[in-house]
Structure 1
Amino acid sequence: MTAGRILDRMPRPLDPLRSFKVKTGLLVVAALFFASLMFWVTARWPFRYALILALLVSLAVTQILAHGMTSPLRSMTAAARAMATGDYSRRVRSTSRDEIGELARAFNQMAEDLEAADRYRRELIGNVSHELRTPISALQALLENVVDGVEAPGPARMRVALDQTERLGRLVAELLDLSRVEGGAVQLEREIFPVREFLDDVVRQSEDPRRVTVDVQPPHLRADADTARLHQVVANLVDNAFRHGPARTEVVVRARPDAGGVVLEVEDDGPGIAPGERSRVFERFTRGGSTDGGTGLGLAIARWAVDLHDGHIEVLDTVEGCCIRVSLPAA
């Protein structure tokens, strides 16, 4: 254990006090008291020896009491220097209840936020690099074969190239959406709209509208929300249902009123999501164990769009298939 850590573990008798000014006053009073006490004890000594001893005792008392007052500042300085080198794991002992203790707790919170942001940045770079590498490698291999004359540039080959290009475009679009949401650049533009017409429009733009059933009760149900953001949510959920379900999966989109708001459910007859993964599927780049080429961002974007409405999104317990519910409170 280093000397700094040993000193940091020393008792801090003034920590319970809530004011730094009161601590400073007590420090002065304690120093004068012990200096006077030593003068009284050594009254028969020569004056210079008594004075030296009184000063030494006063200095020792001052060091003991002042250590606990200034230790958080020294710890913050060391932690700040560590942060400059990329180490965000250092924390400050914040047992004091005065202004410096509050500063130490704020510093620890800042360190945690910076550590989380740095971890997210590293994970994002790694995940994006991984997601980009797959379609780019496939395109490169395809184009090399065509250029070398190994394969003819027929419709089937071009279809593969188009699929990979669409995957790249989808990843870039979702990353831009994610950046806007996390940066607070997305503002809600609420409006009252008929839910049935809204859902029919979303389904018409889906992969296969014939496999989607829209059920709105009552038929004239209306909602108050940002249609662009809500379109993004429902479209991602329907696309996710097609992606994870069997070849001819049937998708049902339901809407019901709920305490002045609206509840939307998207259900499919696919394999479903394991209970242990249901809380993680809304995280970035999490695909619930799927390896079908999804970016793992669709449900994360859906969650943020729902959060903008102060709503809630969850995976429901179902006997078969998967059902995701979106609850939007009244405006």
Structure 2
Amino acid sequence: MGPARDDDHARWRDHRLPDVRPLDPVHSLKVKLGLLVVASVTVAVVITWVGLRNELGPSRTFPLAIIVSLVLTQVLARGMTSPLRQMTAAAQTMADGDYSIRVRSTSQDEVGQLAEAFNTMARDLEASDRIRRDLIANVSHELRTPVAALQAQLENMVDGVTEPTPSSLELSLEQTERLSRLVTYLLDLSRVEAGASALMLTEFSVGDFLEECAEAMSMVDAAKGLTYVVDVTPEDLPLEADVERLRQVVTNLLQNAIRHSPYGGTVRLDAYPQGDAVVIEVGDEGPGIPAEDRDRVFERFARGTTDARPQPSASGGTGIGLAIVRWAVDLHGGHVAVADSEPGATMRVTLPAVARPAPGVTTESGA
């Protein structure tokens, strides 16, 4: 009999035998085994005693007692070990790439705990596999679009269809910058996966810093004609942080705001003290973020569940930028969230005014 027929026979036998779990409430596997031994011995003794009382004789009573005890043991042991068999079958299924299978976990003993841990592992693997698929889909799409546009523009110039005018060269540069941003996102993501967690701490003026960020983004994304408003209270508000990491945070938030802002809209950058922390807010006048998506937007490759805000792939985003924002803010011991605002969306970053990095983060003092 081949392996396939053995598996079929085993599944057929499993379906024929009952899956009874009367010992599930017991919290210890040792106690279960003890109860199993006591139950089988008790049944054998009772059958032997009844048989002898009815003068059936040992030749009939003993075999009957043994058979009934074995059947009882088989039924109870099958219920005890059922999660183990399910985990074996699930592991084989997961090896083929299907992570959706779960193990029935009703017992309270060590086997039940193992089944719960197995289900947790299966959920984590399913999430990781989904992230991997999303990564391939997002990166493939984001790379293909600017590469195809850039290739078409350059081919037209080489073939003489279009002249290499400043405007056509500007379009080519725009696609190149988009590719550069995507590569930067992927490099940052690799640092996240590698656990890179070093900060170069410097004390600086938040107002001057936000002005620089706004000016840089206004020159890069001038096509929409956006107005940038920087409001810092007080004007000399200080902050101790890693300037480059924080520039990465604000730049990603600005790019997100620019992507979703209407033409001629306003992007706000506000900062103010709050207790022993500094709050930085980046707001736009776009369609906003639905309440049910506000906890998900900072996950890698997250996509909204509604059309209230354009999908990342449709608007030039990758679903990576906000995940990098959360990572960089977490390194500083702060937190980032979507604040309630009408209209548009406001991203609120809260950082300790005096550096208080997360545990395990190494720090150096910058100039």
TM-score between both structures, scaled by the size of structure 1 = 0.88
Secondary structure in 1 matching 2:217: coil
Q: Distance in 2 between matches of 1:137 and 1:95?
A: 54
Q: CA 1:147 to 1:191, structure 2 compared with 1: closer, same or farther past 3 Å?
A: closer
Q: Distance in 2 between matches of 1:165 and 1:60?
A: 73
Structure 2 unaligned spans of 5+: 1-10, 221-225, 357-367
Match of 1:154 among 140, 145, 165: 165
**For residue 230 of structure 2, what is the amino acid of its counterpart?**
V
Are positions 1:252 and 2:263 aligned together? no
Offset, 1:204: 4.0
Offset, 1:191: 4.6
Q: Distance in 2 between matches of 1:26 and 1:281?
A: 52
Secondary structure in 2 matching 1:207: helix
Are positions 1:289 and 2:310 aligned together? yes
Offset, 1:311: 3.2
Secondary structure in 1 matching 2:164: coil
Offset, 1:328: 2.5
Q: Report the counterpart of residue 303 of structure 1 in structure 2.
A: 326
Q: Distance in 1 between matches of 2:342 and 2:190?
A: 36
Root-mean-square deviation over aligned CA pairs = 2.7
**For residue 310 of structure 2, what is the amino acid of its counterpart?**
G
CA contact (8 A) 2:260 2:310 kept: no
Q: Distance in 2 between matches of 1:23 and 1:162?
A: 71
Offset, 1:33: 1.0
Q: Report the counterpart of residue 173 of structure 1 in structure 2.
A: 184
Q: Distance in 1 between matches of 2:287 and 2:34?
A: 67
Report matched runs for 1:156-305 at 5 Å. 156-208=167-219, 211-268=227-284, 270-275=285-290, 279=294, 280-283=296-299, 284=301, 286=303, 288-289=309-310, 291-305=314-328
Offset, 1:111: 0.5
Q: Distance in 2 between matches of 1:157 and 1:70?
A: 70
Q: Distance in 1 between matches of 2:348 and 2:336?
A: 6
Secondary structure in 1 matching 2:59: helix
Q: Report the counterpart of residue 11 of structure 1 in structure 2.
A: 20
CA contact (8 A) 2:253 2:282 kept: yes
Q: Distance in 2 between matches of 1:150 and 1:222?
A: 55
Q: Report the counterpart of residue 22 of structure 1 in structure 2.
A: 31
Q: Report the counterpart of residue 92 of structure 1 in structure 2.
A: 103
Instruction: Report Cα offsets for 1:108-133 as digits up to 9, x if no partner.
Output: 10000001101111111111111111
**For residue 47 of structure 2, what is the amino acid of its counterpart?**
M
Q: Distance in 2 between matches of 1:164 and 1:231?
A: 23
Q: CA 1:22 to 1:322, structure 2 compared with 1: closer, same or farther past 3 Å?
A: closer
**For residue 316 of structure 2, what is the amino acid of its counterpart?**
G
Q: Percent identity?
A: 53
Offset, 1:86: 0.5
Q: Distance in 1 between matches of 2:219 and 2:292?
A: 27
Q: CA 1:129 to 1:30, structure 2 compared with 1: closer, same or farther past 3 Å?
A: same
Q: Distance in 2 between matches of 1:8 and 1:108?
A: 24
Instruction: Report Cα offsets for 1:283-326 as digits up to 9, x if no partner.
Output: 42648316443444323322332333443333333344443222
CA contact (8 A) 2:86 2:103 kept: yes
Offset, 1:3: 4.8
Offset, 1:81: 0.5
Q: Report the counterpart of residue 361 of structure 2 in structure 1.
A: none
Q: CA 1:223 to 1:63, structure 2 compared with 1: closer, same or farther past 3 Å?
A: same
Moved more, 15-24 or 238-247: 238-247
Q: CA 1:193 to 1:146, structure 2 compared with 1: closer, same or farther past 3 Å?
A: closer
Instruction: Report Cα offsets for 1:15-58 as digits up to 9, x if no partner.
Output: 11111111112211111111111110111223222111011011
Q: Distance in 2 between matches of 1:5 and 1:274?
A: 50
Equivalent residue pairs, number? 329
With a CA cutoff of 8 Å and minimum separation of 6, indicate the structure with the bigger relative contact order: 2
CA contact (8 A) 2:18 2:75 kept: no
Report matched runs for 1:55-134 at 5 Å. 55-134=66-145
CA contact (8 A) 1:278 1:315 kept: no
